[in-house]
Structure 1
Amino acid sequence: MTDWAQHSKDAFFVVGSIAGLFAFLRPAIESKYQKDLERANALLAKFDENGVMSLDSCTYNSRRIPEAFLLPFDEVRHKISENRQEVRFIGPLKKHLRAELEAMAKAYDSYRHFIQVPEWEPRDLDSNGQYEWLFNKSAFREGVRISDDYAKHLEAATEAAELLKKRFQRFQALTELHFFEVILPKLFVRRKMISAGLDEL
């Protein structure tokens, strides 16, 4: 047998062994991935997607933000701080899912740095305890005039809202990967983010 034939035989043996091992481990790996997918989708289901996607517009244009859009972020942040089961991932994407979730919570903290009293004030919407945050331009009053700092505040808050929106979308994007893609997350996660226009934040 020639060296070439021997090398080919060895290569086929290695490939066959890897394929056999993957076939053996696949049920366990796929089960963990499905559990992570369920947990991730359960978290996403708490959000009003349209509300999240309109946060930048609510901040800069209408200058009124329904508290209902923000509550799910508070809940997720709380679950992370307590390391609840809902945010503990166990499959091949566990590091990516947790990292993106924590990045989203951090982006939310940055956004809420702006959306608070006195620059924004809560106002009741109905008797059920629903309320919204309204921009308080008078908080920027200096004597008899309004400081130009109010515009800078709105721009910075809107930028924070845009980042939060993208962080939310990145977490969403991870749930769209096929099982065979999550086996090689270093390759396919980045490819997914690039295709969704979410690779540069």
Structure 2
Amino acid sequence: MWCEGEKLRFSNLESVRSRVAMDFTGSVGRIVDDPKEAKAIAVAEGYSWKRRWRPTMRTPSNLAHVNGIESGVHITQPWFHSGMTRDQATALVNKHGTVDGVFVVRDSRSNPGCFVLTYKCGSKVLHAQINPIMDPVREAHVFSLDSGVTKFYDLLQLVEFYQLNAGCLPTRLTHYVVQSTSPIKVPNSVTTPAMAAGSY
């Protein structure tokens, strides 16, 4: 078992290690090691974001709406389970979750327009709410697990990030569960010891 001091020290180390520069311009995200390249990507990404997300009088159809999201890249992903209840997600992850990081993403029943990441950590099934929020700097809707500290264009980008980084979660996402099948291993993933998380 971990004592409180060790948990805090490990948590601080994990937070530092989890914050890496990422390049999502290709078909798969990659970690950027060179600080100059990271800065160049950040600058280019900032300009690109501003061009793509110019506010208009009408809301683009692909943005998150508070009342719900009718479509998006996430609906084609094997880890997304539309219409699944909290109890169904808990049972599915419990059944297939033999290691930390087994997960599914589902619609939130209690907060329409939001999503929930259901995942296994330390023999517990945890639920983390994914909120669509307005980014005041970009004047666009983005997704976040941590009240806007880390923001993503879509759920696919969010899931890819947390497969590589624990971030605000107590473990990295390592495997996803497809309905009626076994968990699928996510390449290049590492799990970390469990810590507490909220439930949604």
Normalised by the length of structure 1, the TM-score is 0.26
Higher strand share: 2
Please say which structure displays the higher CA radius of gyration.
Answer: 1
Larger RCO, structure (CA 8 Å, separation 6 or more): 1
Normalised by the length of structure 2, the TM-score is 0.26
Higher helix share: 1
